Amino acid sequence: MNGLYALKPWYADRLSGVRGALARRRVSPDALTAAGVAAAAAAGGALALLPAGWAAAPVALLLAVRLACANLDGAVAPGWLAALAACAATLPSWVSLAGAAAGAPRLNGGPAGKTERCLLAVVAAATGWYAPVLAVIAAGSAATALLRGARLWRELDTADRAGSAPYGATPPPAVASAASAGDTR
């Protein structure tokens, strides 16, 4: 049972006009998040400072604003790009963990490793260049995952040739046939 959360689609529909206006005016998602935090803090202040009864209306209004801001901040952000960047940012870790599970050392680094992604988030926060930074995070994370994957492949292939590959790990047929033909690239 979702309780009051089941009303979220209804509430989001009521905010569609506001969402469109904010997007046209290019209001920053961070500004909406800050407004939501301020509204929540003000609701807490009203609850603490006003007597019972008097606090009900301002607390209800301020919490409705807080919920609206929480709904709107994600809606005005470049959603598909943020989702793409978030998914891509997990790839380097998945490659490293897969390699570690196969017995290779845990790989780090690359053009957009964890530290670089954190720095990029700071750049976005400082400049407001969310879309370009998200694009860099997505592309850089994918490149990092590919480079780590290639490095991992080489390390596992070397371990297999030396007879020390764990769990019977073998390179894919294309790599194995190229190696047997003397093509070591």
pLDDT (tens digit, 9 = 90+) per residue, 67-115?
Answer: 898 888 777 767 778 888 888 999 999 999 998 888 888 888 889 988 8
pTM: 0.50
Q: What is the mean pLDDT of the chain?
A: 83
The rounded percent of the chain whose pLDDT value lies above 90 is 33
Counting Cβ atoms within 10 Å, is residue 122 exposed (0-12), middle (13-18) or buried (19+)?
A: exposed
pLDDT above 90: residue 50: yes
Percent of the chain that is helix, strand, coil (3-state, to 5) = 75, 0, 25
Distance CA(22)–CA(35), nearest Å, equals 13
Average the pLDDT over each of 33-47, 64-78, 112-126 and give the range with the smallest value.
64-78
Closest CA to 183 of 162, 157, 155: 157
